[in-house]
Amino acid sequence: MPEETKKPLSRREARLSAERARDAHTSSSARAPEEKAPASEKAASKKAAASAAQKPRAHKDAGEKAGKAKAPRKHRAVYDDDAPLSPRPAKAKTGAKSAGKENASRQVARRVGKATMAGMKRFNAFSYSQGDGKRRVFRIPLTFRFFILASFIIIFLMLLALNNQSISVDEETIAIAGLPSALENYRILHISDLHAAEFGTEQSTLLRTVNNLDYDIMLITGDMVGASGNAEPFLNFLRGLSTCRNVYFIAGDSDPGPLLSQIREEEGTLDQRVLEDWVLEAIDLGATYLDAPVSLTVGTTDSATLWLSPFSQLGVSAKDAVDMYEDQLETERIGYLSGIGADYIQYPFTDYRYRQAQDLLSAISQMGADDVHISLSHVPPMDSLLSIVQDDHSATPNEYLYAPDLVLAGHYCGGVVRVPGYGALYVPDALQGSYHGWFPDQSRVRGQITVGNTVMYVTGGLGATDAVKFPFRLFNTPEVSLLTLT
């Protein structure tokens, strides 16, 4: 019976057949005679290998004869685990015209081929190690696009990190009607909302910026510690100041305390028994915790009086507050001396608030109409609240503080996430109004506005508020504000 004509083998089948023949020949001495490969099989293997070697040329000749009836199949770079990695087989020369029309993506792929060869080899090794017998195609153009995308993301994150570690200085001029000549060009450094952020080792970047500024007083409007409770970044900042003088601060809504929930049992002053540790440490470093109005004398020969107050005491009737806490102290004093639990815990805090009310009443009696009044508020007050404060003093000047000439605030952190060309997308606040929540009034997010006779300035701050679930600032460089009175 005539020998059956065999179909031409593919390149892979021919290679596998040749390897089997080689293995059979190598191990022929150790095998049984009946296991030896017959000569006809070796001949068939050689014939198949020769046929496979001639197959590409035969196919090419057939394609040339057929003309352009069928477009040649596009090459895909596939690398086997047992085949050496090599460049794509060169195309046959078909003239300068066809060479000039070569796909641009293939040219790019060839240029980056050498650079990505190691990665492709690792990919192929992984692919064939899975044991599922499936070939996985590694496409050079796809790898190049992924490389470009990854590079863009890395560069963006690096620029974002650098931006969050840089400090800008917002210099503003604040015009106050009837400003005394002694306070002309008086410079205020306004800082807010650190939220325990680190700017270099022990705040070296922040301190380098601040210590190079020329200012007369530093006013801090809260959230320097933040919800984390980590006071070290704030304290490191105070330690590093070239001179920690004329530094006044208030607590923000995210700061711990500032009053303890229970008194300290050790002996000490009233402040030491009721105030949080971070407040006491800041005081020890030379800063002043502003819990009641204080006055400063500016100038020598032609002096002026500058008042600082916490905004929480504006709109408070000092006389009513003194009377209320005085009565409460009388009630709690008996229980405190007797060791009754509730009164024993509450009495020192009532005593602290009574002292605040007395300081407020004293400030009201001393503050004059020509004095300059600056109030510190963490959350920017609404216009309606400022109007109430202005009306309260006009109606009963002996019970309420003068309306402030300037209110300094923070809290919004510039919106945390800002869109170039638009501004903040969202600002957090429990109050209602057109300048809170999504797409706020941008004039309220940062900068100065005027309400009646009061100027309010809101700084963009240094950190990111915990009210916005975003761990860093986006298109929003951290800032300190240098304000010049005029």
Please list, in sequence order, all residues whose beta carbon lies within 8 angstroms of the beta carbon of residue 471, skipping any fewer than 6 positions away. Answer: 464
Residue 399: how many other CB atoms lie within 10 Å? 17
User: 119: part of which helix (H) or strand (E)?
Assistant: helix 104-128
Residue 312: how many other CB atoms lie within 10 Å? 15
pLDDT reported for residue 81: 45
CB-based contact 288:309 (threshold 8 Å): no
The terminus-to-terminus CA distance of the chain in angstroms comes to 116
Distance CA 57, CA 55 (A): 5
pLDDT reported for residue 136: 53
pLDDT reported for residue 79: 45
Superfamily holding 165-485: Metallo-dependent phosphatases (3.60.21.10)
pLDDT reported for residue 350: 94
Structure tokens at 44: 């068939």
Distance CA 473, CA 161 (A): 9
3-state secondary structure of 272: helix
What residues does each domain of the chain span?
7-25+39-58, 165-485
Distance CA 226, CA 400 (A): 31
In the block, tokens 């990695």 appear at 85
pLDDT reported for residue 20: 75
DSSP 372-436: EEEEE-SSPPPHHHHHHHHHHHHH-TTTSPPPPSEEEE--SGGGSBEETTTEESEE--SS-STTS
pLDDT reported for residue 83: 47
Structure tokens at 241: 């100041």
CB-based contact 412:253 (threshold 8 Å): no
Distance CA 185, CA 483 (A): 9
- Convert the pLDDT of each residue in 432-483 to its tens digit: 455 567 888 888 899 999 999 999 999 999 998 877 776 778 889 999 999 9
Low-confidence residues of the chain, pLDDT below 50? 1-4, 29-37, 56, 58-60, 62-63, 65-70, 74-86, 96-97, 101, 138, 140, 432
